Amino acid sequence: MKDMSVRSDFPIMDRLIHDKPLTYLDSAATSQKPAVVIDALADFYRNNNANVHRGIYTLSEESTLAYETARVKVANFINAGSEEQIIFTRNTTESLNLIAYAWGRDNIKEGDEILITPMEHHSNMIPWMLLCKEIGCKLKYISINEDGTLDLSNLDELISENTKIVSLTHMSNVLGTINPIKQIIEKANKAGALSVIDGAQGAPHLPVDVIDLDVDLYAFSAHKMLGPTGVGVLYGKEKILSAMSPFLGGGEMIDEVYEDRFTTKEAPWKFEAGTPNFADVAAFGVAIDYLDDIGMDNVRQHEIDITQYALDQVRKIDRDITVFGPKNLDIRGGVLAFDFPGVHPHDVAQMMDWDGVQIRAGHHCAQPLMRRLGVSATARASFYIYNNQEDVDRFIDSLKKGGEFFGDASR
C-alpha cells in the first residue's frame, strides 16, 4: 500500500482518545481538515473579513475576490464549463432541496414520475417525497442486486415518457457502491428527464468531469472533502439554471426591486440570497488546491488499496462478520459497512471508541436501504487520504478484542 504521507498535515491526528492514538474512520460523515485549511479560515477572519459584493473598499474587494476565486477553483475541479455554473449552498441537502423546489415545482405535474434508488441518502429521498406529496407525482425505484449494485436490466422500462427526474447517488455512503452514473445519465437525457447526481460521496473520492458525464445537476459538500462545514455546491447546466426560479428571496439575489415587483440577477447569484458563508467558501478554495496537488486519481488509488487491505483483514477474523457492498474494488469506494453477529452496531462503535477507533453506527440516513439489507443498523468504517495501514490494523485489533469481550453472544 502506497503511503500518501499526508497524515502530518492534519493537526487532529496528534490527538489521543482514551490514551490511544486517534484512528479516525468516519470520513463518509465528515472529513478532517489539513492545517492549511484551518489556517486559511483563521487568516481570513484576521485580515480580510468583510461582506462580499457589497462594498467598494479594500476589505470587501479582497473578500469578494477570495469568494469568487473559490467558485472558479470548484468549477475547474469538476471541469464545469464556467464558474457561473457553480452555486454555493449550505450543503448537499440544501442543493438537492433547491432542485426540488426551484425546478420541481415549475416542471413537475400530477402523474409525472421521479426515478431514484433504494440506496439513496435521505437527502436524496425526502425532497422528492415532499414534492410528490404536494403535486401528486410518483416516486419509482431502481432495484438493487444482492451484491449491492443496481439492477439495470429494466432501466429502459423504468425511464419512460412520464419520467421527469432521474436522481441517484454517485457513490453509496453505506455500500460503497460506485454507480454507473454516466450510463444512467445518458438514458435520462435521451428520455428528456432531468439528471441529478448526489455527489456527496463522489466528489471527495473520485475524479469528476461534469462535461464528460453530461449531467444536468451535480451536488456535493465541502466538509466531506477537507473543507469547512456549512458550504455546499450545486453545479448545473447554464440553460437549466437560467430557467429555474429563485429558491430564496432577499438581498443579493435581486437586480431591481419595486413596490409591486422585482427582477433577479443571473445564475449563480440569483440562488445565493443574503450574506453567504464567504469565509468558509474562501477556505474551501484552499481545500480544493490541496486535493488538486495530490490528484484525484491518487486519492482514488489510495482508497482502493486501503479498502482492499481492510476487507482482506476482516475476512481473517474468526467471526461471521457480514460486510455489505460490492466485492469488486473497481466499483467500490472506501466504505466498509458491516454487521457483527449478535452485537448491536452501537455497542461495536462504543467498544471501538475505547481503543481510540472512531467509526459510525446507525442507519446512516438510509433507512430504506437498511430494510433491504435486513438489518436495523450497521457499523461503518470509512477511509480517506490520511488513513494508513496502521489505522486498519488498529481497527482490526479492536474488532478482535470485541469478539473476545462479547464472547458467545457474537457467534
Q: What gap in Å lies between CA 342 and CA 403, rounded to an integer?
A: 10
Q: Which helix (H) or strand (E) holds 18?
A: none
- Cis amide prior to 268 (ω within 30 degrees): yes
Dihedral sign of CA atoms 244, 206, 316, 404 in order: negative
If you search the block for the grid coordinates 490494523, which residue do you land on? 393
Q: What gap in Å lies between CA 322 and CA 36, rounded to an integer?
A: 39
Residues 6+ apart with CB under 8 A from 105: 131, 134, 135, 245
Catalytic-role residue among 17, 29, 129, 365: 365
- Asked if residue 183 lies in contact with residue 173, where contact means CB atoms within 8 angstroms, the answer is no
- Asked if residue 340 lies in contact with residue 410, where contact means CB atoms within 8 angstroms, the answer is yes
Amino acid identity for residue 379 in this structure: A
User: Would you say how long the chain is, in residues?
Assistant: 411
> 3-state class of 207 per DSSP?
coil
Q: Is 365 a catalytic residue?
A: yes
Q: How do strand 254-257 and strand 262-264 relate by DSSP bridges? A: antiparallel
Q: What gap in Å lies between CA 99 and CA 106, rounded to an integer?
A: 10
Residues β-bridged to residue 89: 232
Active site residues: 365
